[in-house]
Amino acid sequence: MKGRIVAVVAVMALAALMALAGAMMTVGAQAQERTQEWKQGVVVPMTGDLEKPEPIETDATGLAIFWLNEDMSEMCYMVYVANLTDVNQGHIHAVEAGNDTGPSVVWLFPEGSTQPMVKPGETDGLLVIGTFTEEDFVGPMEGKSMSDLLDMMEDQTAYVNFHTEANPMGEIRGEFNVMNQSCDSLEETFSRAMGTPMGQPSPPSQPSLPY
Find the domain containing 158 and state its range: 2-194
What is the Cα–Cα distance from 51 to 78, expressed in whole angstroms?
Answer: 20
113: in domain: yes
204: in domain: no
- Inform me whether the pLDDT recorded for 86 exceeds 70: yes
Nearest to 44 by CA among 58, 73, 25, 64: 64
pLDDT digits (tens, 9 = 90+) for 61-75: 999 999 988 888 899
What is the Cα–Cα distance from 59 to 48, expressed in whole angstroms?
Answer: 8
203: in domain: no
pLDDT for position 172 = 99
pLDDT for position 41 = 81
201: in domain: no
- Amino acid residing at 94: A
205: in domain: no
pLDDT for position 211 = 33
Nearest to 81 by CA among 140, 39, 28, 121: 121
209: in domain: no
- pTM metric for this prediction: 0.76
pLDDT for position 36 = 58
89: in domain: yes
Determine the average pLDDT of the residues in 122-126.
97
199: in domain: no
Confidence of residue 18 (pLDDT cuts 50, 70, 90): low
Question: What is the number of domains present in the chain?
Answer: 1
pLDDT for position 109 = 98
**pLDDT above 90 as % of the chain:** 59
